[in-house]
Amino acid sequence: MTLHRVVVLALTGLLPFELGIPHRIFGRAKGPAGEPLYEILTCALAAGPVRTDADFAVQVEHGPELLATADTVVVPASYELGPVYEEGRLSGELAAALAHIRPGTRLVSICTGGYVLAAAGFLDGRPATTHWFHAEHFQRLFPSVRVDADVLYTDDGDVLTSAGVAAGIDLCLHIVRRDHGAAVANDVARRTVVPPHRDGGQAQFVERPVPQPQLASTAAARAWVLDRLHEPVRLVDLARQEAMSVRTFTRRFREEAGISPGEWIVGQRVERARWLLERTDLPMEQVARETGFGTAQSLRKHVQAALGVSPTAYRRTFRAAGGDAGPDAGADAGGDAGRDGRGSGNLPSPDGPSVDAGSVH
């Protein structure tokens, strides 16, 4: 079997940490028998030493012609982008290098690597993100790009971008999850000692990313609800775990997580559904009950909205152990839903009193 080839483009002034992200995440992705799932190589504008933003250079064995062999190209951040950052245009050397990329190649940027994709025209008319510090400048420089500074990463099919630094880990894990399922991605996350999943829509910058010691955290409430994903969850019960009012809890939760309690719980339920779809033959109605969505129709709509595919299609594609799916694999309950479909359970307003099964209230 030919491995999916990931080629990382190392530019002068690159951040060593970001260069290591795709090598670590894709390099640790293994199949059922421990076989590698990706081949990861690095190229530069010319083979030889590439200066980093630290006090050392990296020796790169391949020149830009390697880009022509890539299935996925990753462009990490660089602090020396020159005309790309200053004027939004490629140097002749960089333009010639990017010309090697074949049509249909998946393109990925980490942090300010998005400037390179934008200057090459790959992001025109597409959603994209970059480090929050550069977002306004990025939008001014590339007005045709739909910049979203409030997310960790964007996925537009064959073009994906991440926010700064560690968000590159989240994006690469997302790609592994998209390619090979949650079980493989979670195994990579465990080996890398990072959270298995942070949703791309989560805010990349919050005012208090780490709770102050004197302030109460919402960690106990989150742990409490993870043991009860299959049950209806009331917002007042979450607040009670932290001895807070609903209003205070909702505000504190958003300050810590960057998203509302309802959005977080739906995301956790989708992750649980992914695991069950990959690892079990449970009928869709039972998967819906186990994950707190209540009905197969609600399950379908939430999974479709989050993943862009139905539960049946996901199960068919990502069975960790292989083999046929359960007896209901031929059809999901409920009608077809588009990528923007929403579940039957309504997300609450921050202080909303109640919603139906599948959400928090």
Helix (H, G, I), strand (E, B) or coil at 49: strand
C-alpha span between 250 and 263 (Å, rounded): 12
Q: pTM to 2 decimals?
A: 0.68
> Which residues fall within 8 angstroms of residue 115, CB to CB, at 6 or more apart?
81, 84, 85, 88, 130, 134, 138, 141
Domains of the chain: 4-192 (3.40.50.880), 208-361 (1.10.10.60)
- Is pLDDT of 112 > 60? yes
- Is pLDDT of 333 > 70? no
Q: If residue 240 lies in a helix (H) or strand (E), which one and from where to where?
A: helix 235-241
In b/e form, how buried is each residue of 29-43, taking b as 16+ CB within 10 angstroms?
Answer: bbeeeeeebbbbebb
Helix (H, G, I), strand (E, B) or coil at 318: coil
- Is pLDDT of 206 > 60? no
pLDDT tens digit sequence for 208-229: 444 444 445 888 999 999 999 9
* 145, 133 Cβ separation under 8 angstroms: no
In b/e form, how buried is each residue of 12-21, taking b as 16+ CB within 10 angstroms?
Answer: bbbbebbbeb
* 245, 251 Cβ separation under 8 angstroms: no
Between 2 and 197, the more confident residue is 2
Helix (H, G, I), strand (E, B) or coil at 282: coil
DSSP designation for 172: H
Helix and strand counts by DSSP (H, E) for the chain: 14, 10
Sign of CA dihedral 248, 250, 253, 259: negative
pLDDT tens digit sequence for 9-58: 999 999 999 999 999 999 999 998 999 999 999 999 999 999 999 999 99
* 44, 62 Cβ separation under 8 angstroms: yes
